[in-house]
Structure 1
Amino acid sequence: MEIRFVAVLASLALALGATAPAAAAPPPSRSAQPPSTTFTNPITEPFADTYADPAIIRGKDGWWYLYATSDPLVSGGPFGNMHVSRSSDLESWEYVGTIFDNENRPSWAASASYFWAPDIRYVDGQYVMYYTVTDTEANPDPWDYTIGVATAPTPTGPWTDSGGPVLDPRPAGGDTYLNTIDPALFADDDGSRYLYFGGFNGGLWVTRLDESGTRAVGELTRVTVADRYEGAFVVKRDGWYYLMGSSANCCAGPVTGYSVYTGRSRSPLGPFTDHEGVSLNESRVGGTQVVAQNGNRWIGVGHHAVLTDAAGQDWMLYHAIDKDAAWLEEPGGVNRRPTLIDRMDWIDGWAVVNAGAGPSEGPQAGPVAASGLGIVRGDPASGSGLRRVAGTFTRGFDDSGDAGALARLVPGRRDAAVVRTAPAPRDVRVEADVRLPDADASFTAALGGSGRAAVLVRLDAEARELVVGQGRRELRAALPVNADLRDWHVLTVEARDGAVRARLSSSGLGDVDAEVRFEPRTPLPRQAPVHLTADGGEARLDNLTVVPAHEPVTRRVAEPRAGAVTFAEEFDGELGPGWDWLHAPSAGPSGVEITDGALSWPLTGHDLVGSANDAPALLRDAPEGDFVLEATVTLPLGENTVRNYQQAGLLVHAGDDDFLRLAPVSIWQTRQVEFGKELTADGRTWFGGHVSGPVADTMHLRLFHTTDPATGEHEYRAASSRDGRTWRFGATWTLPANTTPKVGVYAGGGATPATTATFDKVQLRELG
């Protein structure tokens, strides 16, 4: 194959040599920068109050399509059977319609079933949607969740259900994968297709799919602990498989603490571990935070999808709740969860939204959705953005799918067909949907012009390879057996920091059919055209973009720091002045006492949540201004047993039904750090929380207090540590401006088995 590769390069050089006058007089320079876009969250506001569980794909027609779960779009609206909207620029969105109606809804789903959490992909030349079916006709259990799949020739349908579930519905009374919801497909470069699914009360699972993609085959593998994650999404990056999932309650209105975490593995089957090596599939559960609420209007940020823009920047789409407008008015009990989009950065090998700043408010710089250099993305053969050098370059039309106008690059009898752009920068990203109708065709993208420094990326239908090379040196990756290049595939080529990365994928959503990373020995020139070549047969191109590669964000935003100690309670005798008991604990040998330089606090089954409000707490006045509340607590919770809901930690108390608490806690079989909030709103009391971790028997806890200068709201950001040195930061909860909360410690939850919490110290610090 090396001979053929060199022949393509020679063909390209000859073609350029034959048209030297044209090459010497290029068309007027066109900016490599595409038009800039801006957005303001929520992006679905023009047509929907709620648009939850978003999934996205770029259609071959050039539009981006955004899908959502079966909620009413607006107050009083009907429950649509999943929704779809679209945008041409990832900035302005319009509603299109529903996925199912009474005519095409799956006949094997019970009449009362909902359809949740669509996952959209492009597979084998058609659009494939996986979705949750909450109730089937298969057994009398009203919540026999399972996964369905439907296909369509276009992103808007018509959708044809496969006729049955991908996974057998849970049998009535069964205890396997109890919450069979939230599907997500991942296609790997060996041709394997995996479906991830599951949620709380069961865990996240993965199964292989058959060649049709409609049925699970082989054994199921659990990849997370049973009571922590849902809403899976998997991407492959730098040889790692990243499993992302959402955690905590999605839908608790104004106290929703939902957020997204990730772990990674060298295998799509796991084990997935976080940045400290803690597994997502163990009782003391791990997970690296990707996005959490930050104190602005948005809470409950989760159930996401990932999109890569034309410049190579990743973006996360997820739903969120406005803490001041949490519910639809009609019907009652439905959360307003519109879709947000924010930049997702990769820092030190881990994904994080807005470099750790969290969900955005106000106008933001948007994704790159158009091409530079005068190229019309959705109609590459129109205009003068590409200049023909040899062969035939003409406009065509896709009459078998949804691509619409496309570009046909047809080689002549003796030479390849070549087009070139205006000069592009050294760090450039080229993306295109590519089809090779002929079995012996190849398509080549040459970066760096036509000289010896050029790096050629070739998609070869005959050899079934993706090849990247410079001169006679090349690297190649074989295509999977099931990759049919007669169907559209997304080819991306990115030059950055002295390396060229090429990836072929079916959906362009973190999946991969073939991937090559190549380091040229001769650097690419600072400015040079990109040459696109078809040889041996016709190449069809659509959705072509050539833009500067994005500048990655490589540093996280600064986390708050704890400063000098202003107050310390070491529990080395009588309590210091300023402490008061709330719901005073019992006295005597089994009660709370100071002993051996610590506060010993047996758990007695009392709790602050709900109507009882009888758990004891030790409180004092909070300092004025900014401060840090800190405690060290030892609470042996064991592992893999149910000890609901034993906990001990920090408390911020503005009232028995208006408080925040941060503690390690036993939630069914998991051990997590929960940052909970209770408030009274809409005539009732609500409790919800953000969860993080992992935990150890001895935990160090901090709450960082600041005040919003615009609203006067109290903001509290949580952090926890297993060693007192390495801290994990979590969510931010707020309390109203007109409150004067007290701060301190508490313990509560179940009394069985007998457990004692021990506080070594409580401190107040300056905000550093």
Structure 2
Amino acid sequence: MNRTAGVVLVVALAAALVLPGAGFAQEEQTYRNPVSRGVVDAFPDPAIIRGGDGYWYAYGTTDPVRQSKGDDDFHFLPIMRSKDMVEWDYMGDVFTETTRPTWHPSADTFYWAPDVRYMNGKYYLYYSVAHFGDDELFTIGVATAPSPTGPWTDSGGEVIDRDSCDTNPIDPAEFTDKDGKRYLYWGSYGDICVALLTPDGLRVAGDATRVTYGGQAEAAYVIRRGRYYYLFISEGACCSGALSSYEVLVGRSTDPLGPFVDKQGVSMLASRRGGSFVMSANGNRWVGPGHHSMATDLAGRTWAAYHAIDKNNDFLNPPYDDISRRPLMIDPLDWVRGWPTVRAGRWASAGRQRAPVTSWTAGGDFNSPESLDTDWVARGAGRAGWRLAEDPDHDGYATQTRETDKPAYLVTKASAPARARVEADLRTSGTSNGAVGVVAAYRDRGNHFVAWLNERRHALVTNAVVDGRRTVHAIRPLPESFRFDEWHNVAVQLRGSSLNVQVTEARLGDPVARIRRHLPPGVTGSGAAGIASLRASALGDNAGGAPLYHRARETAPPPNVGEEALENFSDEFNDARLDPEWSFVREPAGEQTGGVYRFPTQGADLFEDINDATVVRRKAPSGNYTVQTKMAIDLGVDTDKSFQQAGLVMYSNDDRYLKLVHVSIGPDRRTEFAKEDPFYESMVVGAPARVTWFRISHRVDRKHNEQELRAASSRNGKHWAWGGVWTLPLGAKLDIGLVSQGGEGSTARFDYVRTFRP
């Protein structure tokens, strides 16, 4: 097993890991990104799933990912495996030259952006086909397998109707709703669309519905949490080395078909498209974080698996030194007041972090022939009926061979804590009308909790027993298509008096049934975890309990802007003439009138080799500061006004600047935070409006000899969307500037320019 990811084990007796009344000491594992270090050189667009054998599996885009091993070959959807999401092993590829699909051309064809699921009792891998040449083809395929490593059987054709959505038809993501209906989302650098899938998951079965408005959106990923569906997208340049501007945005809806809106209620279908930040560049060495999938650890915490680029080591080695090096990263996805953000808004980590919880306080995977005797004890009926069995996916699992009329329990000898997540993979033989369940807080037959998959009721049923009496009973119907003879994960989270039970196919954020309850006193407490059987030939695996994760309560604070504007670096534009501190790069343009600086958009630009636009500039202070302006410009919506734009610029010269503007790109309108040094890429920072407030916060990072500049925008001057960070060398002198360019026909009106000290 690879050890280069740098796992450190520390015995942690801190109060945060010792739960009241439990008396448990938990080993604390740590990690440092990238977790694929030493195994593969790159692992773009990662998809992750926990297999039936208890390992996590990750799948990546086709790239020459093994150069450091002396291998320059392109690997068709490489596979890695890990027991802890930190130390990974390379497990081969989904396709080889001899096993790749034959329904599309083979020459000059690559497979990108996989999405992995467990459905219908097998693994599905949706993938993008990218065929270059005169007969160019971009589309989506799917392969299935009995285990996460294969063998993979391709479906033999396209999953989607390529002409049904105005987009580059790649980047698939499947989602299963609570009614059992399956959907596929896809799209890149155009609309994101969704369509219903056939029950077998191999083809779309209905018309495509658009859920985002154009732009650079791609890499959709959808989960359901509570009553909301969350649509995650990646935006920007994925693969431009140190100038990569990839970032992750999110909107939510009460319907899987949308409309999805951001925190401010702005629709992702609007020309001025909404989207709240999940992750962007934060000023450390990692840039372009995005194209993520999600995993849930044994403590119930959600983790984002994504790629990013080390700006100090941004390309692969020759002969592929034009391909960005995008390794596998992981970081926790925190939920604060109903919205997700990576590391509570701190985004990609560069230092050592607390690792996912991947071992149980009490529990196991039944892979050892002695495990029934060493780790488990039978209680209730059918004690002699528990056996070990095997299959290719799950390796070892436990099965109750007797269909008892009273519950049979197989529980851990050790106890899980009172505040815990307890889970198990469960199924029945499909030949009875019985039930199989996950057991939590088991002290004896008269004091325990069970969440049942009840075949007779075709429902998730929960029972809590205290002093021999059933005190909590709840039922949630399961989808009509639910198969009890296929593996499902049932997870029970006990947090104080709060109970949360979910049924999923593979722990990927798409529960088909869910029960939430407040529990009366006496129901919870430390106790054994396990599986239960009632009138069924029940099968269980990967069963156990671990301390429940601690939720983030607040997001990381935004930059401290300050309150008093610096008089020598600010202008209210209310004098008789323009402040003499302003000067012009190229011909003077615009005028100060009526308390604003009126600046018509020029038929000129500041973009790479085109440098004929006017920059109105003045000196910036030294040290840390924030520049703010309020600007009105009517670019309309939906019509093509490319590339009219206006806003702030932090200007060094024509080949080194940062620009924060409201811009029209085709019918799209966006707040663009761009960097040219010497090439040009851009992030988005919130949805613009006819009147938009802009901020650029400047911070000196002497440790890394850099300047960090972070942008924010607001539609009302009160609620700010803080976006990503660009960096420049510390020695690059910057001026504060205004631009209005990209084509004649509109006029920007700047109310003021104010500069603040934190």
**How high is the TM-score relative to the length of structure 2?**
0.91
Q: Summarize the alignment of residues 139-538 of structure 1 with structure 2, pairs less than 5 Å apart.
A: 142-170=135-163, 176-201=165-190, 203-330=191-318, 331-373=320-362, 375=364, 381-382=371-372, 384-390=374-380, 391-392=383-384, 394-399=386-391, 401-411=392-402, 415-421=406-412, 422-437=414-429, 438-449=431-442, 450=444, 454-470=448-464, 471=470, 473-530=472-529, 532-538=531-537
Is 1:45 paired with 2:37?
yes
Q: Does structure 1 conserve the Cα–Cα contact (< 8 Å) formed by 2:298 and 2:359? A: yes
Cα shift at 1:525: 4.0
Choose the corresponding residue for 1:66, options 58, 64, 69: 58
- Between 413-422 and 333-342, report the one with greater CA deviation: 413-422
SS in 2 for 1:448: strand
Q: Does structure 2 conserve the Cα–Cα contact (< 8 Å) formed by 1:84 and 1:99? A: yes
State the partner residue of 1:764.
755
Cα shift at 1:473: 4.3
Q: Does structure 2 conserve the Cα–Cα contact (< 8 Å) formed by 1:453 and 1:522? A: no
Residues 423 and 157 of structure 1, relative CA distance in 2, 3 Å threshold:
closer
1:273-316 CA distance string (max 9 Å, x none): 11111100110100111011100001111100011111100010
State the partner residue of 2:91.
96
* 1-structure distance, mates of 2:498, 2:331: 27
SS in 1 for 2:242: helix
Residue identity over aligned pairs, in percent, reads 36
Q: Does structure 1 conserve the Cα–Cα contact (< 8 Å) formed by 2:247 and 2:281? A: yes
Q: Read off the aligned partner of 2:375 and give its amino acid letter.
A: G
Is 1:105 paired with 2:105?
no
Residues 377 and 404 of structure 1, relative CA distance in 2, 3 Å threshold:
closer
Q: Does structure 2 conserve the Cα–Cα contact (< 8 Å) formed by 1:648 and 1:665? A: yes
Higher relative contact order (CA 8 A, sep 6+): 1
SS in 1 for 2:344: helix
Cα shift at 1:655: 2.1
Residues 658 and 378 of structure 1, relative CA distance in 2, 3 Å threshold:
farther
Q: Read off the aligned partner of 1:632 and give its amino acid letter.
A: K
Cα shift at 1:129: 0.6
1:508-536 CA distance string (max 9 Å, x none): 11112221112223343443333532111
Q: Does structure 1 conserve the Cα–Cα contact (< 8 Å) formed by 2:530 and 2:544? A: no
State the partner residue of 1:18.
none
1:666-695 CA distance string (max 9 Å, x none): 122111111111113xxxxx1111113211
Q: Does structure 2 conserve the Cα–Cα contact (< 8 Å) formed by 1:375 and 1:384? A: no
* 2-structure distance, mates of 1:527, 1:55: 35
State the partner residue of 1:710.
703
* 1-structure distance, mates of 2:179, 2:406: 34
1:470-507 CA distance string (max 9 Å, x none): 32642211121222121111111111141211111112
* 1-structure distance, mates of 2:144, 2:333: 29
1:691-728 CA distance string (max 9 Å, x none): 13211111111111111131221001111111111111
Choose the corresponding residue for 1:670, options 668, 671, 676: 668
* 2-structure distance, mates of 1:505, 1:414: 27
Residues 656 and 464 of structure 1, relative CA distance in 2, 3 Å threshold:
same
Cα shift at 1:466: 0.5
* 2-structure distance, mates of 1:187, 1:313: 20
- Between 705-714 and 670-679, report the one with greater CA deviation: 705-714
Q: Read off the aligned partner of 2:34 and give its amino acid letter.
A: P
* 2-structure distance, mates of 1:34, 1:414: 38
Mark the runs of 5 or more structure 1 residues left unpaired by the alignment.
Answer: 1-28, 586-590, 681-685
Cα shift at 1:441: 2.8
Q: Summarize the alignment of residues 712-751 of structure 1 with structure 2, pairs less than 5 Å apart.
A: 712-751=705-744
1:578-626 CA distance string (max 9 Å, x none): 22211233xxxxx411111211111112111111222111222221111
Residues 439 and 36 of structure 1, relative CA distance in 2, 3 Å threshold:
farther
Residues 480 and 381 of structure 1, relative CA distance in 2, 3 Å threshold:
farther
Q: Does structure 2 conserve the Cα–Cα contact (< 8 Å) formed by 1:381 and 1:394? A: no
SS in 2 for 1:43: coil
* 2-structure distance, mates of 1:164, 1:242: 29
State the partner residue of 1:575.
578
Q: Does structure 2 conserve the Cα–Cα contact (< 8 Å) formed by 1:33 and 1:547? A: no
Cα shift at 1:417: 2.1
SS in 1 for 2:519: coil
Cα shift at 1:577: 3.4
Is 1:122 paired with 2:90?
no
Residues 62 and 528 of structure 1, relative CA distance in 2, 3 Å threshold:
closer
Q: Does structure 2 conserve the Cα–Cα contact (< 8 Å) formed by 1:498 and 1:523? A: no
Cα shift at 1:383: 5.7
SS in 2 for 1:305: strand
- Between 366-375 and 116-125, report the one with greater CA deviation: 366-375
- Between 567-576 and 632-641, report the one with greater CA deviation: 567-576
Residues 694 and 30 of structure 1, relative CA distance in 2, 3 Å threshold:
closer
- The root-mean-square deviation of aligned C-alpha atoms, in Å, is 2.1
Q: Does structure 2 conserve the Cα–Cα contact (< 8 Å) formed by 1:426 and 1:524? A: no
Q: Does structure 2 conserve the Cα–Cα contact (< 8 Å) formed by 1:700 and 1:721? A: yes
SS in 1 for 2:398: strand
Q: Read off the aligned partner of 2:477 and give its amino acid letter.
A: A
Residues 538 and 664 of structure 1, relative CA distance in 2, 3 Å threshold:
same
Q: Read off the aligned partner of 1:509 and give its amino acid letter.
A: L
* 2-structure distance, mates of 1:434, 1:351: 29
Q: Summarize the alignment of residues 545-560 of structure 1 with structure 2, pairs less than 5 Å apart.
A: 545-560=544-559
SS in 2 for 1:706: strand
Q: Read off the aligned partner of 2:31 and give its amino acid letter.
A: F
Mark the runs of 5 or more structure 2 residues left unpaired by the alignment.
Answer: 1-20, 465-469
Q: Read off the aligned partner of 1:68 and give its amino acid letter.
A: G
Q: Read off the aligned partner of 2:95 and give its amino acid letter.
A: F
1:351-385 CA distance string (max 9 Å, x none): 00001011001211010111113645755944633
* 2-structure distance, mates of 1:690, 1:412: 60
State the partner residue of 1:8.
none
SS in 2 for 1:763: strand
Cα shift at 1:653: 1.6
Cα shift at 1:320: 0.7
Q: Does structure 2 conserve the Cα–Cα contact (< 8 Å) formed by 1:50 and 1:338? A: yes
Q: Read off the aligned partner of 2:565 and give its amino acid letter.
A: V
SS in 1 for 2:350: coil
Cα shift at 1:645: 1.6
Choose the corresponding residue for 2:28, options 18, 33, 36: 36
* 1-structure distance, mates of 2:168, 2:460: 40
State the partner residue of 2:566.
566
